[in-house]
A and B are shown apart, each in its own frame.
Chain A
Amino acid sequence: MLLPFMVLVVAYSIGSTIRLADNPNDKLLPGLLGFGEAIQRMAFTADPHTGEILLWSDTKASLFRIFCGLGISTVLALAVGMVIGMLPHVRALLAPFVAAIAMVPPLALLPILFIVLGLGETSKIALIVIGIAPTMMRELAMRAQELPREQIIKAETLSGNSWQIALRVFLPQILPRLITSMRLQLGPAWLFLIAAEAISSDSGLGYRIFLVRRYLAMDVIFPYVGWITLLAVLTSLLLDQFRKWIFPWSELEAAP
């Protein structure tokens, strides 16, 4: 499992060594030592201007935005997805709309968001929500629609009314899918966050990367990219563990 990662590191070191042998001031592929220095500077030393440790303040700002965006999207997706999946009338009305909204390129909306919502946190969170919520809604609606008709009939013969069936039959079978959907949308969520931070921000991991780009500071960019990747992977793993813990049945082979 670790082999491909090690191959990547070794390949990078070889490339870096070759370039550094040619030109000791090369900035494109800094050596591992260079990374060490940059990490020391960014992650463990307080910035002289602000007195804050930059990596941590950036991480805090970005994580706040991404979790707000994910949280709002999840709640929206659950509400809209359930209603579209369960109620045919609502589906006929809303499904084409959601499908069309999902096709709007979110980044094209970013200027509008900045104009309407200002340059603060709201517009960045809104971009994440606009970017990922429609896809999550569609996925949940599909899952709700996929529930076998027999299950609903059976629930009705057990004297369940629509509300009870939504609560005890639909909801618990959709929640594991919701978590999986969150995991799959982590990548796009980070994409939209970094895009928004790159254009207008004064903190955040994406902001920092685009700031130091001006100085060709690859020794900072590479560790930041690695750190973002690590955060995304950890979030995904935690979400999956959470799903297995809360919904153990979702891990079992599907019952016919």
Chain B
Amino acid sequence: MSELVIENLWKEYDSQIVLERISLTIASRSFVALVGPSGCGKSTFLRILLGQEQATRGKILVDGQPLPAEPGAERGVVFQQYSVFPHLTVLGNVLLGKEFSDAGIKAKLFGAAKRNAISEAKAMIEDVGLGGAEDKYPSQLSGGMRQRLALAQALMMKPKVLLLDEPFGALDPGIRADIHTLMKRLWNQTQMTIVMVTHDLREAFTLASRVIAFERPRDRPEEREGYGATITKDHEIWPPRVAGVASNYRPPGEGK
């Protein structure tokens, strides 16, 4: 279980207020899409959840516990770019998390531990549809396959929260539809809560169980510095989408 509670969060850079009065409870296993115009702070909010940046004020709780300040294994992430390591093969990329968490200062597994990790990694690679590409390097993969790899790499750590920063923004529509299908299946299979930033409203409503819009309520040039963005819309998708429960409603065209 992984409920996220955000209490009165503010983010300021010097005198510039970016986010203000963000209070939000994200239910365990929900799939939240953050949308909004460019510069509305949705990516900043995601980076705060990730631990890459710190909030100026306010609290973030995971299951009642404060969120650790530094990024760690309880949070998985997929960026639009640079999410995978170019010097490792597909298998090496997926194994890396295991090698970090289990192998200590050598950061490399040997013997039986390695064989177990490899079979687990291979199952994961198969699951995201990259079977047969284990020995390829990321630069030999298409953009869609690279994002599948980034997902597999993150999921190996079984994170409580998966954070996605415009992960499919650079993909062709057909490939994006395929990866949406995968994303939905993974959401239904796993226990994690997903927060995704996207600028694509169609994607937001196709995938998410809840869509939240960030906006600056006061956006005149002279107001920009003193007022940040906050939550202006908060829609639960209807009929409700619940992880692990089949929905009898399918949006036309995309997702299953």
Q: Which of B90-111 contact A (CB under 8 A)?
A: 96-97, 99-101, 105, 107-108
Counting CB contacts under 8 A, is A45 at the interface? Answer: no
Counting CB contacts under 8 A, is A235 at the interface? Answer: no
Q: Which of A140-172 contact B (CB under 8 A)?
A: 148-151, 153-161, 163-164, 167-169, 172
Counting CB contacts under 8 A, is B85 at the interface? Answer: yes
Chain A neighbourhood of B23, CB < 8 A: none
Counting CB contacts under 8 A, is B188 at the interface? Answer: no
| Cα A173 to Cα B79 with chains together (Å) | 20
Partner of A155, one of B51, B100, B137, B140: B100
Chain B neighbourhood of A2, CB < 8 A: none
How many residues of A are in contact with the other chain, CB < 8 A? 29
Counting CB contacts under 8 A, is A256 at the interface? Answer: yes
How many residues of B are in contact with the other chain, CB < 8 A? 41
Closest to A171 in B: B87
| Cα A163 to Cα B104 with chains together (Å) | 10
Q: Which of A53-61, A101-109, A247-255 contacts B (4 or more CB under 8 A)?
A: A247-255
Closest to B83 in A: A154
Closest to A247 in B: B87
Closest to B50 in A: A153
| Cα A157 to Cα B154 with chains together (Å) | 8
In the complex, the answer to whether B138 meets A155 with C-beta atoms within 8 Å is no
In the complex, the answer to whether A168 meets B99 with C-beta atoms within 8 Å is yes
Partner of B87, one of A148, A249, A256: A249
Partner of B82, one of A151, A250, A252: A151
Nearest-CB distance from B199 to chain A (Å)?
Answer: 18
Give 10 closest A-B pairs by Cβ, nearest first: A158-B97, A159-B73, A150-B82, A148-B82, A255-B139, A156-B71, A160-B100, A164-B107, A255-B138, A252-B139
Residues of A within 8 A of B (CB): 148-151, 153-161, 163-164, 167-169, 172-173, 247-250, 252-256
